[in-house]
Chains A and B, each alone.
Chain A
Amino acid sequence: MPKQKYRYLEHTADAKFQAFGRSLDEAFKNSALAMLNLMCKSEAIKLKQEKKISVNGKDLKALLYNWLEELLFLLDSENFIAGKIKNLEISGKESNYKLEAMISGNNASAYKFFGEVKAVTYNDMSIKEEKKGKEKRFIIQAVVDM
């Protein structure tokens, strides 16, 4: 069975999710998929255009916030919806983290959206590392405003 990438949790007004990964990079990538799939089916997006993304953050939470926000920014300003994320890499350390990734997607007008994420929030946000024997797992939790 494939490993679960993310799951949605109960939240009265907005949307809360947890995203998982064996590495921090993977968990960040899955967080983006969790958010995108609140709006449309990311698997259905044709990968017609590729963009290189680079965001910074003074801590990991800020990095997550800025990463997710960048995807919303592209949607509003360029009408670009991401469908796939490749080569996501986090570098740097406390007080200056950097994330780079390649995202591919298409013009958003071609798809049916069933929800709109208005903004990323820090509410209930957590980024945790779990160790089970030799296995490491990262769990990201976030609430986005809908």
Chain B
Amino acid sequence: MAEQVEIKKISEYEWQIPRAGKMNVPAVIYASEKLLRDMQKDITLEQARNMAMLQGVLKNIVVLPDAHQGYGACIGGVGAFGMDDGVISPGFIGYDINCSIRLLKTDLTVNDFLKKRTQILNDVFINVPSGVGRAGKIRLTRETTKDVLEQGAKWAVKNGYGIADDWKKTEEEGCMKTAKASEVSNRAIERGMPQLGSLGAGNHFLEIQQVEQIYDEKIAKAFGITEKGQVTIMIHCGSRGLGHQVASDYIKLMEDKYGFASLPDRELINAPILSELGQKYYAAMSAAANFAFCNKQMITHWVRETFNKILPCKIDVVYDVCHNIAKIEKHDIDGKETEILVCRKGATRSFGAGRIEIPEVYRDIGQPIIIPGSMGTASYLLVGTKKAEQLTFGSTAHGAGRVSSRSAALRNFRGEQIRTDLAKQNIEVKAASWKAIAEEAPQVYKDIDEVVRVSHEVGIGNLVAKLKPLAVMKG
């Protein structure tokens, strides 16, 4: 049972874990009472307290509406660190580095799509490799893998998988320039080589959706969302085994160098940002992020190919957001614009209009934010805000977040039944196994509508459009 962590209510959607004991800063939770109660069921808040104990942590730890227990740092947690005295922790970023979401828009309407739905879903399932232990469609050499690590989505486009406009509308333009393939171990590269261009399994998915509601017509239009019933496509995947190995390699190296005796949790092992090891990890993490960008770019290409064979249409990238990442960004710290390291674990960046990091086409509007729901529920398109920059180091929620375990899901739900239930809601599902469907049952996730409502109410990410699933492929 989770320990009761002392919390103070600040306002309807804001709570605080006051600084106490070894905490260097307080932790601020943005949640409704209902979402807060979910967090109190596991050790989310204890983990937030541990995160606040790290060296050089600034202002406060941020806990987002969808937060739940992770390892080391909670999922849905953000922390900022001073460049000179702060640390970088692989456990504060996550094993699946740049586990992330890309949204595509089409010029199809729901009625066009439904006529060919089953055929398209079946073919996407064949053309986009997914699942465990199934290699991707292409086999890279060690040298080309290194190119992927340094070029990200641009490598894919250069090799015929998509168009430049795709990476231009991707966070970091699909390539973190801080990447150095030389800091990625051979072991990590060997895990990545067979996996480029594959979806993976678990919570990773590819979903075809329709626009169900538009909340802000002007912004939606700027993002290419023009009408209800427009078909969109969402891809969720990460850096696969390569990213997991990078995290694990650097956890070991940091343990060897710094020891873990003084840490509140062994998973929060860290190194000073500016130390040799800190810098190497950042370069390797960036490389893993690029692998994930490239991965989604190739999947985008195969989705396009599949649609074009069955139902020719125009498919464009709306945007592509990172979760599980650390970024060096400029933020206002005590009234001064300062370069800091922002770690977002299971969190999405949310920048308001004007930020240089936003692609030019969206710069006057704000950064698109994509928040996926669970298998049977809606996903949302939001827009970044200045308020997020003030409150959450420019961050908001990343998804629904689980509320109940996989084992509970398997006890309580059957894949066949879930598929039938979803079919009644006009959602077709295809997965590698029934068990995979049961584990990801919509009921084991938080109420996504509540998560985005809180984001909107607090003003750390404002609602633009609601997307309803029509066809779901799970690895």
Chain A positions within 8 Å of B, measured between CB atoms, are 8-15, 39-40, 58, 61-62, 65, 69, 72-73, 75-77, 79, 81, 108-109, 111-116, 118-125, 143, 145-146
Contact = CB atoms under 8 A, between A and B. Distances in A.
Q: Which label, helix, strand, loop or mixed, suits the secondary structure of the B interface?
A: mixed
Contacts of B245: 73, 76
B267 A113 contact: no
B247 interface: yes
Given A79-B134, A115-B439, 10 more contacts: A8-B407, A13-B401, A14-B71, A62-B255, A77-B193, A77-B194, A109-B133, A118-B202, A119-B244, A122-B251
Interface stretch (B275-283, B332-340, B363-371, B429-437): B429-437
B244 A10 contact: no
A120 B91 CA distance: 12
A108 B403 contact: no
A76 B71 contact: no
6 contacts: A12-B402, A12-B403, A77-B193, A113-B201, A121-B267, A123-B266
Q: Interface centre among A39, A58, A120, A121, by most B CB within 10 Å?
A: A121
B133 A79 contact: yes
A38 B198 CA distance: 20
A88 to B, nearest CB: 21
Contacts, number: 139
Of all A-B residue pairs in the complex, the 3 with the closest CB atoms, nearest first, are A108-B133, A123-B71, A114-B435
B69 to A, nearest CB: 5
A15 B68 CA distance: 14
A10 B1 CA distance: 10
B435 A119 contact: no
A84 B256 CA distance: 32
B72 interface: yes
A115 B435 contact: yes
A134 to B, nearest CB: 33
A10 B191 contact: no
A85 to B, nearest CB: 18
Contacts of A108: 132-134
B240 interface: yes
B132 A113 contact: yes
Nearest to A122: B266
Interface in B419-475: 432-436, 439, 475
A13 B68 contact: yes
Contacts of B71: 14, 121-124, 143, 145
A72 B256 CA distance: 22
Interface in B60-77: 68-72, 75
A95 to B, nearest CB: 11
Interface residues of B, number: 55
Nearest to B203: A146
A113 B195 CA distance: 16
B408 interface: yes
A124 B267 CA distance: 9
Interface in B183-201: 187, 190-195, 200-201
B86 interface: no
B202 A12 contact: no
Contact of A123 (B133, B252, B265, B407): B265
A119 B247 contact: yes
B319 interface: no
Given A12-B403, A75-B133, A113 B432 contact: yes
B131 to A, nearest CB: 6
Contacts of B187: 73, 77
B241 A146 contact: no
Contact of A76 (B241, B408, B432): B241
A75 B95 contact: no
B270 to A, nearest CB: 13
B135 interface: yes
A10 B194 contact: no
Given A77-B194, A115-B202, A72 B133 contact: no
B248 interface: yes
A112 to B, nearest CB: 5
B202 A77 contact: no
B433 A114 contact: yes
B190 A77 contact: yes
A61 B261 CA distance: 14
A36 to B, nearest CB: 11
B320 interface: no
Contacts of A40: 132
Contacts of A61: 266
